[in-house]
Structure 1
Amino acid sequence: MRLGLIKLDHQQVSLAISKLDERAGEWALKCSTSVDLAFPTWESLKSQSLQAFSPPNQAYRVRSRFLSTRQGCLTCLRQSM
């Protein structure tokens, strides 16, 4: 079953958690006594998992990489002006 075909948030969360393994699966199960209480919505699962598993400086790294991108002689920043 594909995640996009599931309409209810709690069904999406349950399916996603059932597919997690190793460290992520352990993390999800340790968050609360009930998965429904820990992650009431799909958005809450996404935001909490990003917070738990993204590197602390992820936003800086992405912005830095974007700004250093070039196309021809122009950087992305100069091209957008």
Structure 2
Amino acid sequence: MVDAFEQWWDGVELWMAQLAFPFQFGLLMCVLLPLCLGAARLIDRVVDNASSRYNPVPKVPPAAGPAEPGKADAGSGS
């Protein structure tokens, strides 16, 4: 099983090495770019989940905002 995979990989490697550089670069970007983006998203999600699990954000009640200017003076007698 491993020998068959090694032979297949050697064939792919030889085929790619014989291509012109622009085709090598294009093929590499078509394969590596999606793989790297997927790995980056996976790592980002794992780190976000771990950081939220081990360092939760405390829930803070909403602060009372300043009173409206017109209503604040209406209650005073002066």
Give the TM-score of the pair, scaled to structure 1: 0.31
Q: Which has the higher contact order (CA 8 A, sep 6+)?
A: 1
Structure showing the higher strand proportion among its residues: 1
Q: Which has the larger radius of gyration?
A: 2
Give the TM-score of the pair, scaled to structure 2: 0.32
Structure showing the higher helix proportion among its residues: 2
